């Protein structure tokens, strides 16, 4: 009996994940979804400093934060992109939590995850600025 309950819950979960992934892939395969994803990636790359890291490379790319305010490494740009994505995801989850009016548990879950993502993004950004020498 327990095995049947676990197997049915597993099948429901896998089915839900599969349907969600199929919906996401179908929206990406449309021209608008691909263009929107490409636009977001280019915007984040510009904000994270990939252009600066490529145009003005540092002599030693092994530093994650290069201790100079004028130069940037590619790993540092990747960390900056993570900070931007985490902050954006946190803001989006705050937006989603405000739109949930049916289930109060979902509102609390989205809001807690959003605050966690925002705190991680803020602390990672401040830590990067301190390691870079701005703090």
pLDDT at 13 > cutoff 70:
yes
Three-state SS for the chain is CHHHHHHHHHHHHHHHHHHHHHHHHHHHHCHHHHHHHHHHHHHHHHHHCHHHHHHCCCCCCCCCCCCCCCCCCHHHHHHHHHHHHHHHHHHHHHHHHHHCCCCHHHHHHHHHHHHHHHHHHHHHHHHHHHHHCCC
Residues 101, 105, 106, 108: what is their CA dihedral angle, to the nearest 10 degrees? Answer: 100
Which pLDDT does position 25 carry in this prediction?
66
Cβ atoms of 47 and 66 within 8 Å: the answer is: no
69: nearest Cα among 4, 131, 119, 16: 131
Residue 28 scores a pLDDT above 70: no
Say what the pLDDT of residue 100 is: 72
What's the pLDDT tens digit per position in 86-134?
A: 999 999 888 888 887 677 778 888 889 999 999 999 999 898 888 887 7
The CA radius of gyration of the chain, in Å to the nearest whole number, is 20
Residue 86 vs residue 7, higher pLDDT: 86
């Amino acid at each position: 009996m327990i095995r049947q309950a676990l197997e049915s819950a597993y099948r429901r979960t896998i089915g839900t994940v599969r349907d969600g992934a199929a919906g996401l892939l179908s929206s990406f395969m449309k021209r608008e979804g691909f263009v929107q994803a490409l636009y977001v990636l280019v915007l984040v790359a510009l904000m994270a400093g990939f252009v600066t890291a490529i145009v003005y490379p540092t002599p030693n790319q092994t530093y994650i934060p290069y201790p100079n305010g004028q130069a940037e490494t590619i790993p540092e740009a990747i960390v900056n992109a993570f900070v931007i994505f985490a902050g954006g995801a946190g803001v989006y989850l705050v937006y989603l939590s405000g739109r949930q009016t049916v289930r109060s548990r979902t509102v609390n879950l989205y809001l807690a995850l959003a605050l966690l993502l925002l705190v991680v993004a803020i602390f990672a950004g401040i830590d990067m600025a301190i390691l870079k020498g701005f703090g």
